[in-house]
Amino acid sequence: MTNPDMIFHHTFFASSVRRYACVAALVSMLSACTGATSNATDSSNSQQSPHGEGEKPMASKTQAVQGKPVVYQVFTRLFGNTNTTNTPWGTIEQNGVGKFNDFTPAALSGIKALGTTHIWYTGVPHHAVINDYTAYGISNDDPDVVKGRAGSPYAVKDYYSVNPDLAVDPANRLAEFDALIERTHAAGMQVIIDIVPNHVARDYQSLAAPEGVKDFGQGDDTRVEYARNNNFYYVVGQPFVVPQPENNYQPLGGDPHPLADGQFDENPAKWTGNGARAAQPSANDWYETVKVNYGVRPDGSYDFPTLPDGYADKGFAEHHAFWQDKSLPDSWYKFHDIVHYWLDRGVDGFRYDMAEMVPVEFWSFLNASIKVKKPNAFLLAEVYQPHLYRDYIHLGKMDYLYDKVEFYDGLKAVMQGHGDASVLAETQTRMQDIEAHMLHFLENHDEQRIAAPEFAGSAEKGKPALVVSALISRSPTMLYFGQDVGEDGSEETGFGDPSRTTIFDYAGVPAHQRWMNNGAFDGGQLSDTERQLREFYIKVMNISAQHPAMQGDYMSLHSANVAQQGEYDDKTFAFARWQDDARLLVASQFTSSRKQFDLVVPEAVIQQWSLPPGEYELVDLLTEAPYTMTVSPEGIGSVSLTLVPLQSVVLELAQ
């Protein structure tokens, strides 16, 4: 959870170019109204000649499977909200809220049209919220330790229930979520929800926990800073003090509330979620949360067994067996029970918030228990330190990690006009052994919207980036709701600043609302530009999800083409993808200028494709325009390209 306030399946195999183009066209028609693993990379950090010397294809390191996951992240309380008021710090009555029931078959069909295999319903577990649900036995939350009026979804208050805001009938909220799971499955997609093991809300109390399950902290010895089976850490002898406000901040924007008095009763104080140990955390700390204790002593040493050497190469069953006779800290068992509760309700996977702040051994214990029960469970984690990636994949048994620090950050710089596209090839090289596990994205709830002036200032600039991000590897791709219609996140809604769609307050999301069209989910209010953008996303994401080359090999064409010293430059990027007879050449340019050049296809690719000298027909899967590749007697391919501003081509070789 890189909080913005911190400043800080259907399987598709095209048997021919025409068949693929026809299906792509059909998918495009659906846009108005309306689902692996991999390993690939690039050797372009070496000096490669135009003839491909030093340019080596990067073969699959794991067995290819049909289909590539596409994750659609939706902020659940915002998705179905038709209210356009957007009063800063507005109440639920003023600004409205979306419900589970808003995900109708039509809405789910529109999500599915983007190639989606998994929907990540963000903000489902019951978190702290400034709304009165005392009639349902729920205690009121204190604005002094809640961010925004609708609350942060990462300050979970009850892991055995769901956010009452999301239910038509709060008393029936779990049943309404169960029904959403059923509808999502019926639409051919799977369900992911958040699990936040590093921290919980300051006022955690579960009303729905199964019999015999104790709340976090219920049995803690609060006389000591640390004990192995305490769920929290304590600032012994000192009560919690609400942070000193900065920049004239007032809870709820200064609106009166009976609990907004600058005080919160917690004695002794607990460590704050980001690890701050003071009784009075900073306004920039995660003060709305408390840190969970996994048996890591205050000096950083471990109070639990560690994995023996060699376990990075062992499977889920061996990891699961290893932990069965071990005595472990209480928090491990609490989160084990929580995830299995949700699996039993039909949830198909989890997105783990700030996973790197929890020991990798815990993830071995937890994820192995999930996989022996549900082998196809989808496990996605937030890890931002590249030197930890392999431990959390191989030892922690994560399926996927965010490729934020490496690929996303490099691609963002190219989109903004100050980055060099060579970094993309270099990143793929560094990630060669784990690229299948590194989920790609251009937007999520933590990041700025592409169309925001603080990012790129135009959703159109996301087009070449989408092609590169979604098609370069065998990794899953994630989209954020509203991304496909150019949402810009410009609303001033209360807590936090514009450029990111709020996760803290009640709001409507304007461009998304135009696609939603008052619940018809048919794009009826979209502008022509927004409609064309969504059609582009549908085409690209269905190639990503369905084209067989996406599960095959990869080679960068970048260094071979930069070496030509023509109009192909550091703001252009090209690569090849292939598996068996499915063969693609992909080229994108990120500038506002027209570019004309002959795309060089190195000898190494031509050899892999077993192409003798001659001419070969290609078709652009994005426009159906025909192209020709000429293979010289020396075994070098060439395709004449003219790319208008921000254009990409995805050229498929005719079989």
Residue 38 has pLDDT above 70, yes or no: no
Q: How many residues does the chain have?
A: 655
- Considering only CA atoms, which of 565, 549, 561, 560 is closest in space to residue 608? 549
Are 21 and 533 spatial neighbours (Cβ–Cβ below 8 Å)?
A: no
Measured CA to CA, the distance from residue 392 to residue 240 in angstroms comes to 34
First to last CA, the chain: 46
Q: What is the pLDDT of residues 580-621, one digit of tens each?
A: 999 999 999 999 999 999 999 999 999 999 999 999 999 999
Q: Is the pLDDT confidence value at 1 over 60?
A: no
Give 39's pLDDT tier (boundaries 50, 70, 90): very low
The CA distance from 238 to 627, in Å, is: 72
Q: How many percent of the chain have pLDDT more than 70?
A: 90
Q: List for the chain the helix, strand, coil content (%; round to 5).
A: 30, 20, 50
Report the 10 Å Cβ neighbour count for 229.
16
Strand ranges, E, within 144-282: 156-162, 190-195, 199-201, 234-235, 269-270
Amino acid occupying residue 433: D
Mapping DSSP onto H, E and C, the string for 92-142 reads: HHHHCCCCHHHCCHHHHHHHHCCCCCEEEEECCEEECCCCCCHHHCCCCCC
Does 62 score more than 60 pLDDT? no
Report pLDDT digits (tens) over 72-108.
999 999 999 999 999 999 999 999 999 999 999 999 9
Closest to 76 in 3D by CA, of 110, 112, 101, 109: 101
**240: which residues sit within 8 A by CB, 6+ positions away?**
202, 264, 265, 266, 267, 268, 269, 270, 279, 280
Q: How confident is the model over 509-513, as a mean pLDDT?
A: 98
Question: Does 8 score more than 90 pLDDT?
Answer: no
H, E, C per residue of 22-38: HHHHHHHHHCCCCCCCC
pLDDT at 499 over 90: yes
Token couple for 8: 């800080």
Say yes or no to pLDDT of 43 above 90.
Answer: no
With a cut of 60, say whether residue 45 has pLDDT above it. Answer: no
Q: Check whether 527 has a pLDDT greater than 70.
A: yes
Would you place residue 109 in the very low, low, confident or very high pLDDT band (cuts 50, 70, 90)?
A: very high
Question: Among 192, 197, 230, which residue's Cα sits nearest to residue 356?
Answer: 197
Tens-digit pLDDT profile for residues 423-472: 999 999 999 999 999 999 999 999 999 999 999 999 999 999 999 999 99
Question: Measured between alpha carbons, how far is residue 345 from residues 130, 190, 309, 376, 398 in Å?
Answer: 27, 13, 36, 16, 21
pLDDT tens by residue, 229-252? 999 999 999 999 999 999 999 999
d(CA 581, CA 583): 6
Query: Whole-angstrom Cα distance, residue 20 to residue 301?
Result: 56
Chain mean pLDDT for the chain: 91
> Six-digit token pair at 161?
């229930």
- Dig out the tokens for 167 from the structure: 């239910």
Smallest CA-to-CA distance from 23 within 396, 548, 568 is with 548
Instruction: Give the C-alpha separation, 523 to 520, whole Å.
Output: 8
Give the relative orientation of helices 360-373 and 316-323 as an angle to the nearest 10 degrees.
Answer: 110
R_g of the chain computed on alpha carbons: 25
What pLDDT, on a 0 to 100 scale, did the predictor assign at position 655? Answer: 80
Angle (deg, nearest 10), helices 462-471 and 528-546: 10
What pLDDT score does 55 carry? 41
Do residues 546 and 11 touch, judged by C-beta distance below 8 A?
yes
Give the pLDDT confidence score for residue 57 in this predicted structure: 53
Proportion of the chain above pLDDT 90, given as a percent? 90
Pull the structure tokens for residue 609: 């494709």
DSSP assignment of 439-505: EEES--TTSPPTTSTTTTS-GGGHHHHHHHHHHSSSS-EEEETTGGGT-------SSS-TTS--SSS
51 pLDDT more than 70: no
Listed residue (323, 381, 394) closest to 349, CA to CA: 381
Identity of residue 472: I
Phi, psi values for residue 45, rounded to 5°: -80, -10
Calpha distance 403→434 (Å, rounded): 11
- State yes or no: pLDDT of 34 exceeds 60: no
User: pLDDT grade, residue 35 (50/70/90)?
Assistant: very low
Half-sphere exposure of 483 (CA within 13 A, CB side): 30
Is residue 221 within 8 A of residue 264, CB to CB? The reply is: no
Q: Distances in Å between the alpha carbon of 394 and those of 13, 108, 309, 367?
A: 31, 34, 12, 11
> What's the CA gap between 482 and 362, in Å, rounded?
35
pLDDT of the residue at 67: 75
Give pLDDT tens digits for 271-317: 999 999 999 999 999 999 999 999 999 999 999 999 999 999 999 99
Distance CA 576, CA 561 (A): 13
Strand, helix or coil at 250?
coil
Cβ distance 155 to 78 under 8 Å?
A: no
- pTM of the predicted model, to two decimals? 0.91
DSSP 633: T
Please write the tens of the pLDDT for every residue from 321-341: 999 999 999 999 999 999 999
Residue 80 carries which DSSP code? Answer: T
Q: Checking phi first, is residue 121 left (phi over 0); if not, alpha (psi -120 to 50) or beta?
A: beta
Pair type for strands 269-270 and 190-195: unpaired
CA pair distance 550, 652, nearest whole angstrom: 12
Q: Write out the two tokens for 536.
A: 């582009």
Q: Which two tokens stand for residue 627?
A: 């192209």
What would you measure as the largest C-alpha separation in the chain, in angstroms? 82
Closest CA to 131 of 101, 99, 163: 163
Q: How far apart are CA 480 and CA 515, in angstroms?
A: 14
Of 435, 440, 461, 437, nearest to 449 by C-alpha is 461
Closest CA to 579 of 187, 36, 1: 36
The dihedrals phi and psi of 575, each to the nearest 5 degrees, come to: -160, 165
Backbone angles phi, psi at 467, to 5 degrees: -60, -45
For 648, the token pair is 């990409």
What angle separates helix 330-344 from helix 360-373, to the nearest 10 degrees?
Answer: 30
Q: What domains, with CATH codes, occur in the chain?
A: 70-220+296-403+475-525 (3.20.20.80), 552-653 (2.60.40.1180)
